[in-house]
Structure 1
Amino acid sequence: MNESMIVLAILDGLSFAALLFLVALGLTLVFGVMNVINVAHGSMFAIGGYAAATVGIWAASIGISGYASLLLLPVVALAVGAFFGGAMETFLMRPIYRKEPVLQLLVTFAAFMVLEDLQKMIWGTQPYAVSAIVDALGAVEVFGITYTRYQLFVLPLVAVGVFLLVRYFLRHSLLGKQVVAVAHHRETAAAIGINVKRICLLAFVAGAALGALGGAMSVQTTSWVSGIGSEMIVLSFAVVATAGLGQIEGAFVAAILIGLARSFSVYLAPELEVLVPYLIMALVLMLRPQGLFSVAKARRV
């Protein structure tokens, strides 16, 4: 493996890690606040991609530039998160918050199956592809390797920006501190006057929007096909489990670790590409069942 291949593997790994982190962050946020493993989160990723592709095709048809289309991506993600995330939290999750976790898991899985069929009804099974944003930004040479500016700069900067923004929001804003309070102990938070229902709705919508943002960013470089959400949700679970459930900083590091490992495996052992993220997860869980960044807690009886 020569120097050029190493550089290319690192760049590929970091750009993939950026997308993976956005989706895993949404999953982490929902679990951290609501203690719910949202299987339907993969559908937010897929719908975000389809919606962004649709908007991108429409924007190109009326002459909107690729630069302007880039600004539409967070708008699309927020719209998907507000509509689908808000509907799921209000009508599906809210009635079963106090039910058994297995029921919550089954409900989110059922929602995932319904949303998968909904995608086929709306967008069909033919692949979608948009490249106006990537084409507008162009490419640059890095150590003699031609690489798109979108993957080199935009994806990592968006991921880092979102990470810092969410971290600042949770640590320094009043609403963010309320989110943290609900995540730590819902009953105590309610007792001191925090509107727990509003916080749960906010967390679910934000999580769905982050998943949709990951899809909206990813569709610019990937041909979008039916079922693409399934692969991403499984990889996101690997990131979350490796980091530790509810660990935002940990998810950031774990996404980079898994992204780089997956990228290097493509060049060194392509047959192991799919397996590597889960091998990392399995190894971490054998050594630290609570994840790399979680602290083991005594079980409450």
Structure 2
Amino acid sequence: MMSLFAVLIDGTIYASWLFLVAAGLTVIYGVMRILNMAHGSFYAIGAYTAASLVGWYFNNGIGPVWVGYLLMLGCALVAGLIVGLIIERGLLRFMYGRDEVLMVIITYALLLILEDTMKMIWGVNPYFAYQPYAEMGRSALAGLKVSNYDLMLVGISLVLGLGLWLWLERTHQGKVLRAVIHDREVAMAMGVNVRRMFTLVFVLGTMLGTLAGALTAPAISVVPGMGVEVIVLAFAVVVIGGMGSIEGAAVGALLVGLSRAAAVHYAPEFELFVIYGVMALVLAVRPQGLFGRVLARKI
């Protein structure tokens, strides 16, 4: 029983991190139909920004601890806002209406550019911002020592997921966005400013990506290439849940998190393959993902 409880705790914590990473990716694809390869770079930008500023704040002992947490979240959101606006207004708005494969190539090129840009700004040495993680301490759950910071990530992912769902399903702006998702041409004919909606959604997705990176930074070593590694996991979660589905991303993250935790505890040699095994099994049964919509092809 203790082993099963450990799998449940570890899987839930990993799933919450996966959902934070995948949320921005699925929001952008759901509205804009852009498979954003550069999302991993947004994650890395948030991690680097938080690690550099939070590390500077705690190492110099400037103020109270809680200000450091606010700084970590604030700098990530500001970085996402700036980067999202620059990319959407400066590049992507000229590409709307193009083939989806071309958009994948463009965002992949953007990923490579951003990776080199981050090396120019922050260098190639690792950054450490462990203080927010260590300051929160640990708690005992049924005999297991669990980091309070990891438990906070679970809470943040729940609040974030519920907030996104309520925004899309219960607000006027969310209903307008869903109209754009279902039929872009009809939405434009009804007077919806689709370009403005695209800007809003892309900036929101970018901010979600940088926020995920900032929240992850205290628990890891922030190094070059981290964005490339995480984008593969994010794509797996989004594909399992269904492209563009918030609830699908949550369920997909939970499936992947629990499966990986079980593999780590019971069959560690299969850890690298279990994520893709889950994805293959789901797609064999539902090619559109668990919560994906079946779309009619235009002939």
Deviation at 1:102, TM superposition (A): 1.5
State the alpha-carbon separation in 2 of the partners of residues 11 and 127 from structure 1.
29
Residues of 1 paired with 2:260 and 2:127: CA distance?
A: 25
- 1:255 is the counterpart of 2:247: no
- Partners of 1:218 and 1:234 in 2: how far apart? 16
Q: Give the aligned partner of residue 84 of structure 1.
A: 83
Aligned to 1:45: 43
How far off its partner does 1:62 sit? 4.2
CA contact (8 A) 1:65 1:132 kept: no
- 2:282 partner letter: V
- Unpaired stretches in structure 2, ≥5 consecutive residues: none
**Displaced runs of 4+ in structure 1, greater than 6 A?**
none
Of 203, 206, 212, the match for 1:205:
203
Letter in structure 1 aligned against 2:203: V
Partners of 1:79 and 1:222 lie apart in 2 by 22
Q: Which residue of 2 aligns with 1:137?
A: 136
Q: 2:150 and 2:178 mapped to 1: Cα distance?
A: 33
Q: Which residue of 2 aligns with 1:13?
A: 11
Instruction: Specify which of 176, 189, 192 is matched with residue 191 of structure 1.
Output: 189
One-letter code aligned to 2:106: V
Aligned to 1:72: 71
Say which SS state the counterpart of residue 146 (structure 1) adopts.
strand
Query: How many residues align structurally?
Result: 298
Q: Does 1:231 align with 2:229?
A: yes
Using the TM superposition, give the Cα deviation of residue 172 of structure 1 relative to its aligned residue in structure 2, in angstroms: 1.9
Distance (Å, rounded) in 2 between the aligned partners of 1:292 and 1:146: 34
For the residues of structure 1 that align with 2:200 and 2:87, how far apart are their CA atoms?
12
On the 8 A contact 1:56/1:130 being kept in 2, the answer is yes
Moved more, 231-240 or 164-173: 164-173
Tell me how far apart the structure 1 counterparts of residues 57 and 66 of structure 2 sit (CA, whole Å): 11
Q: State which of 27, 30, 38 in structure 2 corresponds to 1:29.
A: 27
- Post-superposition CA distance 1:238-275 (Å, at most 9, x none): 01100111111111111011011112211222222121
Amino acid at match of 1:74: L
Question: Which residue number in structure 1 is paired with residue 123 of structure 2?
Answer: 124
Aligned partner (choices 274, 281, 284) of residue 283 of structure 1: 281
The aligned counterpart of 1:113 is 112
> What amino acid maps onto 1:73 in structure 2?
M
Aligned 1:95-106 pairs, distance under 5 A: 95-106=94-105
Identity %: 41
Aligned amino acid, residue 18 of structure 1: S
SS at 1:274 equivalent: helix
Alpha-carbon distance in 2 for matches of 1:157, 1:241: 24
What is the distance in 1 between the residues matched to 2:63 and 2:235? Answer: 37
Cα distance in 1 between the residues matched to 2:213 and 2:32: 23
The TM-score normalised by the length of structure 1 is 0.95
2:2 paired with 1:4:
yes
TM-score of the two chains, using structure 2 as the length reference:
0.96
The C-alpha deviation readout for 1:97-121, integer Å capped at 9, x for no partner, is 1111111111000000000111111
Is the Cα contact below 8 Å between 1:67 and 1:137 reproduced in 2? no
Secondary structure of 2:126's match? coil
AA aligned to 1:94 is R
User: 1:68: Cα distance to partner?
Assistant: 2.3
CA distance in structure 2 between the partners assigned to 1:219 and 1:66 by the alignment: 16
- Secondary structure of the 2:269 match is helix
Q: Could you give the per-residue CA deviations for residues 5-53 of structure 1, whole angstroms, max 9, x where no partner exists?
A: 3323322221111111012110100001000000000000111111111
Deviation, structure 1 residue 130: 1.1
* DSSP-derived class of the 2:146 partner: strand
For 1:220, what is the secondary structure of its paired residue? helix
Question: Could you list the per-position Cα deviations for residues 141-178 of structure 1 after superposition, in whole angstroms to 9, with x for gaps in the alignment?
Answer: 122222111112x1011001011111111122222222
Q: Is 263-272 or 227-236 further displaced after alignment?
A: 263-272
Shift of the alpha carbon at 1:298?
Answer: 2.0
